[in-house]
Amino acid sequence: MQIQKNFKLLVVVLVQAAVAIAHAASTDTFFNVRDFGAVGDGKNLDSPAIDRAIDAAAKAGGGTVLLTAGTYLSGSIHLQSNIHLLIDVGATILGAPQSMNAYDETEPFPGIAFQDGGHCYFHNSLIWGENLTNVFISGHGMINGGGLDRNPKILDDMCGYNHFPIPNTNAFPPVRIGNKSIALKLCRNVVIRDITIFHGGHFAILVTGCDNLTIDGVTIDTNRDGMDIDCCRNTIVSNCRVNSPVDDGICPKSTYALGEIRLTENLTIVNCQVSGFLEGTLLDGTMKPAKNGLGRIKFGTEASGGFRNCTVANCTFRSCRGLALEEVDGGILENITVNNLSMMDVGDYAIYLTTGKRNRTPGLTTNSRMKNILISNVIADGVGKMSGIQIMGLPEQPIEDVRLENIRLISHGGGTAQDAAIVPKELGTGYPEPGKIGTLPAYGIYARHVKGLELANIKLNYSKEDLRPAAAFADIDGLEIDNLKAQTADGVKAAEMSADVKNLVIRNSPSVR
């Protein structure tokens, strides 16, 4: 009997000890910002207290910095290695007004800038980190950019962008203009998950030179870029909703901001939604289309290094522009697969592939190049009159080996006979936006300067009668068309071929003569 009592007592002691150890471990690894002086009333500046909690966690070897329900008015928050910034349900980090001077100053940018000012500076951000390992930002709370500046022209002036290619003499003093919600540079093992970002400034998320990056389950409703993934390797963007009516939604880039050529590679974008609704109307559920909404997934424009081994799959586009693959700065865009896209009300174009000669890269000796592109299983409805699918290489450097298959495209139509006679100008050194080229002579597909173009199982229609052909081709070496079905007006060809289209094969396409 006594043995039983002793055994029960031992069990109780062991359980109590285990609970105490677990409690100690949890309190050692969780750092509540309120314990470090944060108020969370939206009036007092809480970023110094958040930084104190981050410092304490870092000194302990790492841990979770917890923001419980409340509104935390903040200037620059400084991330460190081995830190999990947990923004809990009901918690909001609110960007302070510029008048409070709560954001860090811009850091020096030496030499010549080959990218805009938003990509030159990182420290003038709401949340930022540089040269860190193991960085985690998550939770079901919100980052509200509040007072962040969406378009600080002075930053472009400071880094020399507006005077390209004149070297920056560092004559400009640093400034305190917060313009990004999250900025990470040269970090490794990064996860941003489940948070919501509203009114994110120039960039809601800017990640540059980061390896092993995951952005998952994030919702962004903003009035400039949603997320820019620049010179990053081994990245997964998944299950995100990005609404950005006046700029790009999900935008891989490859700038020269690191002072070296570095590709964005091994990138997967999957199960995401991009849109161009009025700011705030994604979050409130009204989804009001903006006039000429941008949104979209766009590779470029800055592309000194280029893009390699990338996949985009299972994504939707709504009230925005379509998919764009752009290489205009002398780099290479290769081995890209795109699969299962659904688009509705995409102005200007559905799919845009282009190379150009803007050449914002020092010591450049190569042309912009694009090759090995596979785009399949795309439905695009409500495509603007200007163009449907554009594929445009350089006369001296054609795009190589492109295959489009299982495409369904419905254009607004309305093209005239005069539109059908247009000979599009070359992009050359111009900014790579379809609007710079203008209305094309085909409502469905226009391709020029391509070596190896395969079209299979393509259906092209319009809502309003269009007097342009469904497709037009110029300077193509190796064009294969298999099962192309096209709606055309009386007396209009389904496909127009210029004299420099060679090695042509047509199968199962009786409308194409």
State pLDDT tens for residues 251-266: 999 999 999 999 999 9
458 within 8 A of 483, measured Cβ to Cβ: yes
Q: Which amino acid is at 251?
A: C
* Cα–Cα dist 178/174, whole Å: 12
Question: DSSP secondary structure string, 369-418?
Answer: EEEEEEEEEEEEEEE-TT-SEEEE-BTTB-EEEEEEEEEEEEEEE---HH
Check residues 120 and 401 and name the one with the higher pLDDT: 401
Q: What is the pLDDT of residues 180-238, one digit of tens each?
A: 999 999 999 999 999 999 999 999 999 999 999 999 999 999 999 999 999 999 999 99
Per-residue pLDDT, 161: 54
Residue for token pair 């299983």: 377
At residue 340, φ and ψ (nearest 5 deg) are 65, 75
Bridge partners (DSSP) listed for residue 371: 334, 400
- CA separation for the pair 367, 55 (Å, rounded): 47
The whole-model pTM stands at 0.92
* Average pLDDT value for residue range 65-69: 98
Predicted confidence band at 163 (pLDDT cuts at 50, 70, 90)? Answer: very low
Q: Can the peptide bond before residue 110 be classed as cis, meaning omega within 30 degrees of 0?
A: no
Q: What is the mean pLDDT of residues 501-506?
A: 97
All structural domains of the chain with their residue ranges: 31-299, 321-513
Strand segments, DSSP code E, in 37-171 are 41-45, 63-67, 70-74, 77-78, 83-87, 91-95, 127-130, 133-138, 142-144
pLDDT band per the 50, 70, 90 thresholds, residue 117? confident
Residue 486 bridge partners (DSSP): 460
Judge contact between 252 and 265, C-beta under 8 A: no
pLDDT at 332: 98
> 445 is written with which tokens?
């597909």
Which uninterrupted H or E stretch holds 190? strand 188-193
Q: Which token pair is 1? A: 């009997």
Residue 152 clears pLDDT 70, i.e. is over it: no
Average pLDDT over residues 100-123: 87
CA dihedral 305, 311, 315, 319 (to 10 degrees): 30
CB atoms within 10 A of CB 25: 10
pLDDT at 171: 56
Q: What single-letter amino acid sits at 275?
A: S
Task: Please report the pLDDT score of residue 27 as a whole number.
Answer: 45
| Cα(389)–Cα(22) distance, integer angstroms | 59
- Average pLDDT taken over every residue of the chain: 92
Homologous superfamily (CATH) for 31-299: Single-stranded right-handed beta-helix, Pectin lyase-like (2.160.20.10)
Q: How far apart are CA 316 and CA 274, in angstroms?
A: 6
CA of residue 479 relative to chain centroid, distance: 32
Measured distance CA(20)–CA(477) in Å, rounded = 74
Give the C-alpha separation, 5 to 216, whole Å.
Answer: 52
